[in-house]
């Protein structure tokens, strides 16, 4: 099964739909799975629709498997709606929760409760057997902690471990007080998001601290900053990861392969991947099979 990762889409329906279309096409002939590394919601105008669509895909099992991990925005949403205090609601609204919250006004009370339970049940960590630079990959929204079997089963709703949840989804390398925190971990290679990269690539590879940040600035895009237009989609390979760069016009505009070094993909490699965004190929299995043969060549 081919495994893909995306992070911090923040209600950006254009990129969300592009990536889902891309994976739906591949899934016609090859099994795929998607890992959403938190902050699917808030700020962007399609926040609630994306949350509802992801929930539907997961619960109805009508597409490829999706594994949805929590970010700090899912945590804010869950705490605001579950605990209902004004301070928690204000925190969520201040951080872009208004559009997500607005979608909840149009659902039944049963669906409202179902959405809260769905968000509360999101995982925090996802380990992989595959490696980057000889370290197994660990997926987490903001910061890795020391490995233990207990935290691998951690869920957003776990009150007894709330301090570990907050560390994993909120921590930044430097906080508002200028204090430095540990983001990566020596035991594995961390794939994170959370902190916008603010560069033309849409990702940051920190070789020394063994992590890759794939927050492609969708939160800034949702707020009207169109300077950065690269949203990474990772594919986990047997050794290393492939990084495809999507823009907001349903295009793949670049890509890299990362193991011990970061190597750009060739134009030929990119051409083979771009065909899966061609709407004329939708549900056309014979064409897809031919493209898979070319992809593997």
Q: What is the pTM of this model?
A: 0.93
Pairing of strands 66-69, 125-132: unpaired
Task: Tell me the C-alpha distance between 226 and 215, whole Å.
Answer: 15
pLDDT digits (tens, 9 = 90+) for 241-274: 999 999 999 899 999 999 999 999 999 999 999 9
Phi, psi torsion values for 246, nearest 5 degrees:
-95, 150
Phi, psi torsion values for 17, nearest 5 degrees:
-65, -35
**Percent of the chain topping pLDDT 90:** 70
Nearest to 236 by CA among 34, 22, 88: 34
DSSP SS3 for 125: strand
- What does pLDDT average to in each consecutive run of 10 residues of the chain (297 residues)? 98 96 91 98 97 96 94 97 89 95 94 97 96 95 74 86 88 68 81 95 92 95 88 96 95 96 96 86 68 62
Phi, psi torsion values for 200, nearest 5 degrees:
-75, -15
pLDDT for 151: 76
Q: Are 288 and 28 a contacting pair, CB within 8 Å? A: yes
pLDDT for 290: 72
Residue given tokens 């979608």 in the structure block = 103
In angstroms, what CA-CA distances link 227 with 45, 247, 251? Answer: 19, 12, 17
Residue given tokens 């329906």 in the structure block = 13
Domains of the chain with bracketed CATH: 2-296 (3.60.21.10)
pLDDT for 148: 62
Task: Tell me the C-alpha distance between 77 and 5, whole Å.
Answer: 22
Phi, psi torsion values for 60, nearest 5 degrees:
-90, -10
DSSP secondary structure letters along 187-204: TBEEEE-SS---SSSS-E
Task: Tell me the C-alpha distance between 58 and 47, whole Å.
Answer: 17
pLDDT for 296: 55
Sign of CA dihedral 220, 225, 230, 233: positive
pLDDT for 289: 65
Which residues have a Cβ under 8 Å from the Cβ of 2 and sit 6 or more positions away?
26, 30, 31, 32, 33, 235
């Amino acid at each position: 099964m081919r495994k893909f990762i995306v992070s911090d889409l923040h209600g950006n329906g254009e990129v969300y739909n592009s990536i889902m279309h891309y994976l739906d096409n591949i899934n016609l002939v090859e099994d795929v799975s998607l890992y959403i590394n938190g902050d699917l919601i808030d700020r962007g105008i399609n926040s609630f629709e994306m949350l509802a669509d992801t929930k539907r895909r997961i619960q109805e099992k009508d597409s490829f498997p999706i594994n949805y991990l929590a970010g700090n925005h899912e945590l804010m949403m869950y705490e605001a709606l579950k605990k209902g205090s004004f301070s928690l609601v204000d925190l969520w609204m201040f951080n872009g929760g208004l559009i997500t919250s607005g979608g909840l006004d149009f659902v039944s009370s049963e669906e409202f409760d179902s959405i809260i339970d769905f968000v509360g049940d999101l995982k925090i960590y996802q380990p992989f057997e595959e490696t980057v630079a000889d370290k197994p990959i660990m997926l987490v929204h903001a910061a890795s902690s020391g490995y233990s079997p207990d935290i691998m089963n951690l869920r957003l709703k776990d009150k007894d471990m709330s301090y570990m949840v907050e560390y994993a989804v909120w921590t930044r390398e430097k906080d508002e007080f200028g204090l430095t925190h540990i983001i990566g971990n020596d035991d594995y290679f961390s794939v994170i998001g959370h902190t916008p990269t603010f560069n033309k690539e849409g990702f940051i590879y920190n070789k020394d601290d063994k992590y890759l940040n794939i927050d492609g600035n969708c939160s800034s895009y949702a707020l009207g900053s169109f300077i950065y237009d690269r949203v990474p989609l990772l594919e986990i390979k047997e050794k290393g990861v492939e990084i495809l760069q999507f823009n907001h016009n349903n295009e793949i505009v670049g890509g890299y392969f990362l193991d011990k070094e970061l190597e750009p993909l060739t134009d030929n490699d990119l051409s083979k991947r771009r065909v899966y965004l061609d709407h004329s190929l939708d549900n056309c299995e014979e064409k897809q099979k031919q493209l898979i043969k070319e992809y593997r060549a």
